[in-house]
Amino acid sequence: MSLEQKYSHTHLEDEKLQPDHIETAPHLDPEQGQAKSKYKANTQLDDAARLLQEAGGHVEYTAEDSKRVLRLIDFYVCLPMCLIYFIQQLDKSSVSYAAVFDLQKEAHLHGTQYSWLSSIVYLAQLVCQPLSSYALIVFPVKYWVMFNMSAWSIVTIVTCVGKNFTGLLICRLFLGCFEATILPSFVLITQMWWIRREQSYRTIAYQIANSFAAIFGPLLSYAIGKAVQRDNVIRPYQGIFLFMGSFSLALVPLVWYLMPNSPTTAKFLRKGNDRLIAIDRLRENNTGTKSSKFKWSQVKETYQDPKTYMWAGMWFCAACPSGGIGAFGGLITKGFGFSTFTSILMQIPTGAIGITTLLISIYITNRIKLRWPVIAVIVLFPIAGAVGLTQVPRTKPSALMGCYYVAYVFSAIQPLLISWCNLNAAGTTKRVVTTATMFGALTIGNVVGPQVYLTREAPYYHTGLYVDIACWSMEFILVVSMGFYLKYLNRRQEARRVALGMPANLKDISIMSTAEADAYKLELAEMMRQKGTNMDSLNENAYDDMTDFENPSFMYVL
């Protein structure tokens, strides 16, 4: 029995249990030797497929038209995403800046109470993930994101009145609830708007905005602290919360004006066939755009997929050190013997390190068309830096700062994982549930991270650093394992395509540069002609909201 026959047999059995999962078994035309049936993953086509169908199923446009539409998408979609991520990081990190200005002393915190001010944010995000996942499918993305941005801005402002552990904890709890949806939302938005070769750069763009927050956050905190100390009206930590929240709320109208809901409804795509061009560009992804139906069959597949648990492990191992160092970075550097204001300023290079690492990483990634080797190499840097922090004597603050900055290369791991994971799942519900699961693992890591930095070990925090080293070591193993597993899955997908009469050794056009893709399409068209078919058959399932397991044309990105 061929792989494709096994696939059809398995899913015919599934149909008995899931009436909304309708699929016709593939068969080869005896005269042409090609697949005649069109896979139907469900009874509803993607929103995008419906619009294309109404337009006659095809739209003609030039390369210049595609570039013009892409520029519009970058301005109206990527720019507001960068603004939101920048603001979110400022609001979330405000407690770390406040800690350098004696938040623990002013609010009478003791024991692990400060750690919980960081952990509770991620614990709330973990609890809110099921609601967020459901909301992303049934509600317009823009309205859901804007509601949460407005809410967390107000919460950050209100945090300035917290003068004890209980008040601060409640505010941070609600901050986590409202911030929970942002990363999953951005993963979905990225998949809805950009071809896979474009997605990495856009994901890195809003992650770089995150790193810019690491540069401007300390500068803003330094200025706020100086101003508040001079006026002596409120405490410095209160001024930080008040300013960060007000700044965030002031940007809500701008983001509201810019951000659209989806390619099928975007108002900025008004000229001619711009909306159809934006949709048609995504055929190569074989992931669709967004279906408004929640499909339990895709939920089941998500948790039968070994990749889900491997991604979860990688995200946990990236988040645990990030959560710990993110909350205690200022206190770690202050423990090297620096003053309060110097400790704040010493955090500024961490943002530059993150930006530089991301730019170099994404450049190399797109040159070699591989992600796992780049991430694996990057993981080695924080291991070395953290080992140095545990071994260099406190009499050498300059050497300790060098180790700290080497360790801070870890800030690039999570963005690169997000970009990689985005490219390797298809089907609206599966993509959202996969992202929610990854984000659940991330939040657990961020909850655990601050807890292993024990107050009694200040300023050395050896337990926290040793846990971080263990996480990064496991990260390395998982990244390499995932690279080999995805290679195996691609071989399996190729066998299925060959069984359907498609050419062997197909390359993934969606991750090529535009020039490479255009050249390969000419070669591919000839290969398909020799098989008695055409290139449209490769992407015929692109808008059927099929998962990567269901669609034989889907290719995994290593």
Structural domain spans, the chain: 66-267+278-285+297-489
Q: For the ranges 142-156, 434-448, 497-511, which has the lowest average pLDDT?
A: 497-511
State the average pLDDT over residues 180-203. Answer: 85
Q: Using an 8 Å Cβ cutoff, are 360 and 374 in contact?
A: no
**Predicted local distance difference test score (pLDDT) of residue 1:** 41
Write out pLDDT tens, residues 84-112: 999 998 888 888 888 878 888 888 888 88
Q: Is the pLDDT of residue 49 over 70?
A: no
**Predicted local distance difference test score (pLDDT) of residue 544:** 65
**Predicted local distance difference test score (pLDDT) of residue 38:** 37
Write out pLDDT tens, residues 164-191: 999 999 999 999 999 988 888 888 888 8
State the average pLDDT over residues 340-348. Answer: 83
Residue 229 tokens read as: 């100390």
Q: Is the pLDDT of residue 4 over 60?
A: no
Q: Whole-angstrom Cα distance, residue 543 to residue 51?
A: 11
pTM of the model: 0.75
Contacts of 324 (CB under 8 A, 6+ apart): 449, 450, 452, 453, 464, 467, 468
For the chain, the average pLDDT equals 82
State the average pLDDT over residues 34-42. Answer: 35
**Predicted local distance difference test score (pLDDT) of residue 37:** 35
Q: Using an 8 Å Cβ cutoff, are 182 and 125 in contact?
A: no
**Predicted local distance difference test score (pLDDT) of residue 307:** 95
Map residue 62 onto helix, strand or coil: coil
Q: Which of 206, 228, 272, 266 is nearest to 55 (CA)?
A: 272
**Predicted local distance difference test score (pLDDT) of residue 43:** 32
Q: Is the pLDDT of residue 21 over 50?
A: no
Residue 433 tokens read as: 């549930």
Q: Using an 8 Å Cβ cutoff, are 290 and 193 in contact?
A: no
Write out pLDDT tens, residues 360-399: 998 898 888 899 999 999 999 999 999 999 999 989 999 9
**Predicted local distance difference test score (pLDDT) of residue 479:** 98
Map residue 28 onto helix, strand or coil: strand
Write out pLDDT tens, residues 227-244: 887 777 788 889 999 999
Q: Using an 8 Å Cβ cutoff, are 405 and 282 in contact?
A: no
Q: Whole-angstrom Cα distance, residue 268 to residue 78?
A: 13
Q: Is the pLDDT of residue 23 over 60?
A: no
Q: Whole-angstrom Cα distance, residue 251 to residue 389?
A: 39
Of residues 534 and 260, which shows the higher confidence score? Answer: 260
Q: How many CB atoms lie within 10 A of CB 151?
A: 16
Contacts of 118 (CB under 8 A, 6+ apart): 95, 96, 172, 323, 326, 327, 446, 449, 450
**Predicted local distance difference test score (pLDDT) of residue 58:** 66
**Predicted local distance difference test score (pLDDT) of residue 147:** 94
Length of the chain: 558
With a pLDDT cut of 70, the percent of the chain lying above it is 85
Q: How deeply is 338 buried, as exposed, middle or buried, from its count of CB atoms within 10 A (0-12, 13-18, 19+)?
A: middle
Q: How many CB atoms lie within 10 A of CB 101?
A: 25
- Cα–Cα distances in Å, from 464 out to 115, 327, 389, 390, 453? 12, 12, 11, 10, 5
User: What DSSP character marks residue 25?
Assistant: P
Q: Which residue has tokens 């804007």? A: 146
State the average pLDDT over residues 158-169. Answer: 92
Instruction: Tell me which amino acid residue 186 is.
Output: F
Of residues 388 and 341, which shows the higher confidence score? Answer: 388
Chain mean position to CA 514:
24
Q: Which residue has tokens 């905005």? A: 209
Specify the long-range contacts of residues 350-353, CB closer than 8 Å, at least 24 apart.
350/214, 350/405, 350/408, 350/411, 351/211, 351/212, 351/213, 351/214, 351/215, 351/216, 351/217, 352/211, 352/215, 353/405, 353/408, 353/409, 353/411
Which range in 327-336, 367-376, 419-428, 527-536 is most confidently predicted, on average pLDDT? 367-376
For the chain, the helix, strand and coil percentages under 3-state DSSP, each to the nearest 5: 75, 0, 25
State the average pLDDT over residues 123-148. Answer: 85
With a pLDDT cut of 90, the percent of the chain lying above it is 35
State the average pLDDT over residues 246-264. Answer: 91
**Predicted local distance difference test score (pLDDT) of residue 291:** 55
**Predicted local distance difference test score (pLDDT) of residue 535:** 62
Q: Is the pLDDT of residue 146 over 70?
A: yes
Q: Is the pLDDT of residue 9 over 50?
A: no
What architecture is the 66-267+278-285+297-489 domain classified under in CATH?
Up-down Bundle (1.20)
**Predicted local distance difference test score (pLDDT) of residue 404:** 95
Q: How deeply is 431 buried, as exposed, middle or buried, from its count of CB atoms within 10 A (0-12, 13-18, 19+)?
A: buried
Q: Using an 8 Å Cβ cutoff, are 269 and 76 in contact?
A: no
**Predicted local distance difference test score (pLDDT) of residue 197:** 79
Q: How confident is the model at residue 287 (pLDDT cuts 50, 70, 90)?
A: low
